[in-house]
Amino acid sequence: MIVIIGAVADLPRTLSWFEKRPLFGRQVMVTRPISQASSLIKELTSCGAHVICQPAIEICPPQNWEAVDAALQDLARFDWLVFSSSNGVRFLLDRLLETGSDMRALGGLRIAAIGPGTAEALQQYRLAVDLQPDQYRAEALADALVAEAPNRCFLLPRASRGREVLAERLTAAGATVEQLLVYQSLDVSVAEDQVSEQLAAGRVDWITVTSSAIARSLASLFGDQLKESRLVSISPVTSATLRELGLSPAVEAEDYTMAGIVAAIVQAESAQR
């Protein structure tokens, strides 16, 4: 007979909390650009998941800043500055600072943000949001702004690709709209070898899909291999894109945020245990 005494005797009890975390034993692939993935990785890890990263897109500056600089020098003609992503916030406001100006240049503008992540990015520049919709999508942002639209001028910083619904709705409501390309969203063309091997072996339990651009890039990178894992979609728009690509989301976040993505996975896993 072997008798264990001392601190070692408590080890199984000490480790049990780790094993009881809701995503313990699950491997999740995060597909956001590395520079934007930290909060999602942290939340997944805190729930016990093992995380691997395969960015599906990369975010970079525009090919030139001429149009951006021209708009920044003429901000007085705009009534509203409308941000639909935290990337738009960072690229536009960093450029404003690089040109020798500061946040006082925005003093005459009202600011709208599509959701809490974008509003948080603005707070990092000491800017408050005048309007944020209850639902974090372009349609809801448009609904919230249409009453302000007639005879008003809107500046919409945006990516090199994306939906046109916000600009179209505001224009139809009588606004003058200028869309300003402040960053590029480019597909990643080559997957990490380790990630491809894990997918091929069926070892990836979940894949996060946090935008339509990411959905399309993932389909290009991995094709039908994606069907071996469960896809978690951030929103109905992203889910619709996945279905257009012949892919079915296993779950969809109720809250269109990174926390919503994690909650959707946890809920699905809890239902199976």
What DSSP assignment string belongs to 23-75? TTT-EEEE-S-GGG-HHHHHHHHHTT-EEEE--SEEEE--S--HHHHHHHTTG
* Residues 94, 177 share a domain: yes
Residue 2 lies in a domain: no
Residue 10 lies in a domain: no
- Predicted pLDDT at 1: 40
* Residues 216, 175 share a domain: no
* Residues 182, 66 share a domain: yes
- Provide the β-strand partners of residue 199: none
* Residues 74, 176 share a domain: yes
* Residues 138, 111 share a domain: yes
Going by C-beta distance under 8 Å and a sequence separation of 6 or more, which residues neighbour residue 31? 53, 54, 55, 56, 207, 208, 209, 210, 214, 218
Residue 18 lies in a domain: no
* Residues 117, 88 share a domain: yes
* Residues 89, 199 share a domain: no
Distance CA 220, CA 137 (A): 25
Residue 7 lies in a domain: no
* Residue 153 backbone dihedrals phi, psi, to 5 degrees: -110, 125
- Per the structure, the complete domain to which residue 81 belongs is given by 60-186
Residue 4 lies in a domain: no
Question: Given 140, 156, 186, which residue is the final one in a domain?
Answer: 186
| Ordered per-residue pLDDT tens for the chain, 273 residues | 444 455 555 555 554 655 678 999 999 999 999 888 999 999 999 999 999 999 999 999 999 999 999 999 999 999 999 999 999 999 999 999 999 999 999 999 999 999 999 999 999 999 999 999 998 889 999 999 999 999 999 999 999 998 899 999 999 999 999 999 999 999 999 999 999 999 999 999 999 999 999 999 999 999 999 999 999 999 999 999 999 999 999 999 999 999 999 999 999 999 887
Q: What number of H helices and E strands is found in the chain?
A: 11, 10
Work out the angle at residue 20's Cα, subtended by the Cα atoms of residues 18 and 21, and round it to the nearest 5 degrees: 75
* Residues 64, 182 share a domain: yes
**Strands of the chain, DSSP E:** 27-30, 50-53, 57-60, 80-83, 110-113, 153-159, 176-187, 206-209, 230-233, 251-252
* Residues 134, 113 share a domain: yes
Give the Cβ contact number of residue 75 at 10 Å: 16
Residue 150 lies in a domain: yes
* Residues 232, 117 share a domain: no
Structure tokens at 192: 């990490």
Comparing C-alpha atoms, which of 60, 88, 86, 51 is closest to residue 208?
A: 51
Question: Given 139, 167, 186, which residue is the final one in a domain?
Answer: 186
pTM, 2 dp: 0.84
Q: Are 238 and 209 spatial neighbours (Cβ–Cβ below 8 Å)?
A: yes
Residue 3 lies in a domain: no
Domain with 259 in it: what CATH number?
A: 3.40.50.10090
- Predicted pLDDT at 13: 54
Question: Given 186, 214, 247, which residue is the final one in a domain?
Answer: 186
How many domains does the chain divide into? 2
Residue 258 lies in a domain: yes
* Residues 182, 216 share a domain: no
Distance CA 59, CA 69 (A): 19
* Residues 194, 96 share a domain: no
